[in-house]
């Protein structure tokens, strides 16, 4: 399988400047023989990584204006089948991109590996797997979220209390998982090497007009790069707790939902259309429920503060260290997204705003 062959050797091909040559020689394959959603997702994973490598092989110099048809056509085809955009998204990068070394062993970092890689070595692998562990830690919280909605529908305060406590524990575990980033990812390598490969062609000064997908569109198409804002988990918790972000942040977050699998988008919509948890707690008059709700909100704000600290370390400190040079296989350290997230936002203003509006969700305690 040519896609698999190329995807298995991406770091080497990019570093030796051979990837574009290999892709240009690749046969045009159709996706109609792919069976079931697992094969479709694997195809999206492979083609998205190959695409990022193809576009950013030379860093911010010599960016191609056109994605060749033998890559663009199957990528767009499989993307349409899955309801995803034809670019690397969070569900490719993290949710579809892991395997256990020992199939019977635990879902822990020492027993995990990634399926497809890009330049960045152990730091890239760590970045993907730590993010996966954050998603894993969220699982009990997502289950508790559905229990909370059912408890509101059945007016069961005891069950709601238990669900909120479980949700808070889950968010605290997500914070612990996220802090492992410091152990597994080198800031200078993240900034100088990894970051550009997650960058998109929308709101990116390095590629302002977008990218032509040959055989798909005469006009350039614009898609945002990979971003933690594409993780369903944060959106789900915000919707349940009734957290209201600024107009600008909300617009960006809603746009990021278009980069999620359709079933994830539908799940968030479902939570949004459920009766308001916040209103239920306010009208219940229960001090215990208020306290449990506030604990969830504070934990979510703490998770966002932890994310801010990590971004500060990996973007600001990473930039300083990367200036010393010599880390990247690409010519020059990427500058276009210097203070922006890979999704194209002014990253600090956005993260701080979202954290602060989370804290504003706190309900005044009983006297």
Every domain of the chain and the residues it spans: 134-197+228-360
Three-state secondary-structure class, residue 340: strand
Q: How many CA atoms lie within 13 A of 302 on its CB side?
A: 16
Rounded to whole angstroms, the Cα distance separating 70 from 108 reads 37
| pLDDT tens-place values along the chain, 367 residues long | 899 999 999 999 999 999 999 999 999 998 888 888 999 999 999 999 999 999 999 999 999 999 999 999 999 999 999 999 999 999 999 999 999 999 999 999 999 999 999 999 999 999 999 999 999 999 999 999 999 999 999 999 999 999 999 999 999 999 999 999 999 999 999 999 999 999 999 989 999 999 999 999 999 999 999 999 999 999 999 999 999 999 999 999 999 999 999 999 999 999 999 999 999 999 999 999 999 999 999 999 999 999 999 988 888 776 777 666 555 655 555 555 555 555 445 788 889 999 999 999 999 887 6
Rounded to whole angstroms, the Cα distance separating 208 from 288 reads 52
Rounded to whole angstroms, the Cα distance separating 342 from 340 reads 7
Q: Could you tell me which residues come within 8 angstroms of residue 15 by beta carbon, excluding any fewer than 6 positions away?
A: 119, 329
Per-residue burial over 317-343, b = 16 or more CB atoms within 10 Å of its CB, e = otherwise: ebbebbeeeebbbbeebbeebeebbbb
Q: Could you tell me which residues come within 8 angstroms of residue 46 by beta carbon, excluding any fewer than 6 positions away?
A: 3, 4, 6, 7, 116
Question: Do the beta carbons of residue 232 and residue 134 sit within 8 Å?
Answer: no
209: number of Cβ within 10 Å: 10
User: What is the predicted pLDDT for the residue at 344?
Assistant: 46
- Which token pair is 334? 């990427």
Q: Are strands 112-113 and 99-100 parallel, antiparallel or unpaired?
A: antiparallel
Give 91-112 as a DSSP string: IIIIITS-EESSTTS-SSGGGE
Residues facing residue 340 across a β-bridge:
346
User: What is the predicted pLDDT for the residue at 319?
Assistant: 72
pTM for the predicted model, two decimal places: 0.93
Is 307 annotated in a binding site? The answer is yes
Residue identified by tokens 């997204």 is 337
Helical H segments across the chain, by residue range = 2-7, 10-15, 19-25, 36-56, 69-82, 90, 121-153, 157-179, 181-184, 187-189, 195-197, 232-241, 247-256, 262-273, 277-284, 287-311, 318-322, 347-359
Question: Do the beta carbons of residue 347 and residue 315 sit within 8 Å?
Answer: yes
Residue identified by tokens 């969830």 is 296
Q: Does 134-197+228-360 carry CATH code 1.20.58.480?
A: yes
């Amino acid at each position: 399988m040519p896609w698999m062959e190329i995807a298995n050797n991406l770091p080497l091909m990019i570093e030796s400047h051979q990837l574009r040559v290999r892709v240009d020689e690749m046969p045009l394959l159709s996706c109609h023989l792919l069976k079931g959603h697992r094969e479709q997702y694997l195809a999206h994973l492979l083609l998205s990584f190959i695409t990022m490598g193809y576009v950013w092989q030379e860093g911010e110099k010599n960016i191609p204006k056109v994605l060749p048809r033998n890559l663009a056509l199957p990528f767009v085809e499989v993307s349409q089948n899955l309801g995803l955009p034809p670019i690397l998204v969070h569900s490719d990068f993290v949710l579809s991109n892991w395997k256990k070394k020992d199939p019977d062993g635990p879902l822990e970092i020492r027993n995990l590996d990634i399926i497809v890689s890009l330049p960045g070595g152990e730091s890239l692998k760590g970045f993907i797997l730590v993010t996966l562990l954050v998603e894993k830690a969220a699982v009990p919280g997502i289950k508790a979220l559905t229990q909370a909605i059912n408890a509101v529908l059945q007016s069961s305060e005891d069950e709601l209390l238990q669900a909120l406590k479980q949700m808070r524990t889950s968010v605290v575990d997500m914070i612990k998982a996220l802090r492992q980033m410091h152990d597994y990812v080198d800031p200078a390598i993240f900034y100088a090497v990894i970051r550009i490969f997650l960058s998109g062609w929308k709101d990116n000064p390095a590629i302002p007009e977008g990218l032509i997908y040959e055989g798909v569109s005469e006009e350039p198409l614009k898609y945002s790069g990979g971003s933690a804002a594409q993780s369903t988990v944060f959106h789900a918790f915000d919707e349940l707790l009734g957290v209201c972000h600024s107009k600008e942040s909300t617009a960006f977050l809603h746009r990021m939902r278009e980069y999620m699998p359709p079933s994830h988008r539908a799940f968030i919509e479902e939570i949004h259309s459920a009766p308001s948890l916040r209103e239920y707690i306010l009208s219940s008059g229960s001090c215990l429920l208020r306290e449990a709700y506030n604990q969830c909100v504070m934990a979510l704000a703490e998770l966002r503060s932890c994310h801010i600290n990590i971004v500060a370390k990996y973007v600001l400190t990473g930039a300083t260290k990367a200036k010393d040079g010599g880390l990247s296989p690409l010519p020059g350290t990427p500058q276009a997204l210097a203070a922006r997230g890979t999704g194209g936002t002014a990253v600090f203003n956005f993260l701080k705003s979202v954290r602060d509006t989370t804290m504003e969700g706190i309900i005044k305690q009983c006297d």
